[in-house]
A = this chain, B = another copy of it.
């Protein structure tokens, strides 16, 4: 295999089937004359974010941002002390908040994600992401990006791929850090989004974040968003949950050389271990289809030499 003779492009991956299959795929689609050769314009790779590029435990990091924001905004909202779901959120009683499901989380999202301009929201996310610490590791959230995936993103780009995020997370949230952390530009990030309103305030146009959902980028909506916004079928797609299954199916069905991949959380020591029974990042149907279709399933425990850059 050509890549092995040169500097290892994936040093945080253990030698084994996963690393070999990934490198063989990249070499096949980039070598002129190979049956699977794809011109650079067609080299599209899509990546889920939470649980695929960075961790998602004990809760999606964007939800932890919401809780931190609620705490920061509480002095301006004395009524929150007695009003649900704010009261529980302020007490850190996530069990009560989560028990109410989406209906319970919606007011928290509205209070922290809407009613402001897109610029103001970006400033808030920027201030948070630079200082907030993960409750279990004490690390910055951006330090909890997976080192093997950062190497893989760079390796794909070095081979002419355009790398896109296609995530259920908020697009305006991810764009604040994705370019710096993942090397993925704002225009290559697809996510869940709320409606925006363009209006002129004191002679100056602003973009206001409205409390209505515009697009929820999960499950079947992922390939739909890929078609709407990219307009080309990916050659490779990486996910970690059943929410990515449709994206991987759409990718695999393109014919020719394709690489649909699930990242499986198997390392309870260095990261977390969960799949079929998990409330966050449930991977159940996806495992069945991967087995039936021969898709690559990466085991974080077995295939990754190092998970985070901060590990020794």
Contacts and interface: CB of A to CB of B under 8 A. Distances in A.
Interface size range of chain A in the complex = 35 or more
B187 A231 contact: yes
A205 to B, nearest CB: 5
Interface in A183-209: 185-189, 193, 196-198, 200, 204-205, 207
- Taken together, the copies of this chain in the complex come to 2
Contacts of A196: 224, 227-228
A171 interface: yes
A162 interface: yes
A249 interface: yes
B175 A187 contact: no
A118 B233 CA distance: 11
Given A41-B179, A198-B246, A253 B185 contact: no
Nearest to A175: B231
Interface string A245-287: 0100110010000000000000000000000000000000000
Shortest beta-carbon contacts, A-B, top 9? A186-B231, A198-B220, A187-B230, A196-B224, A175-B231, A205-B253, A205-B249, A198-B223, A205-B250
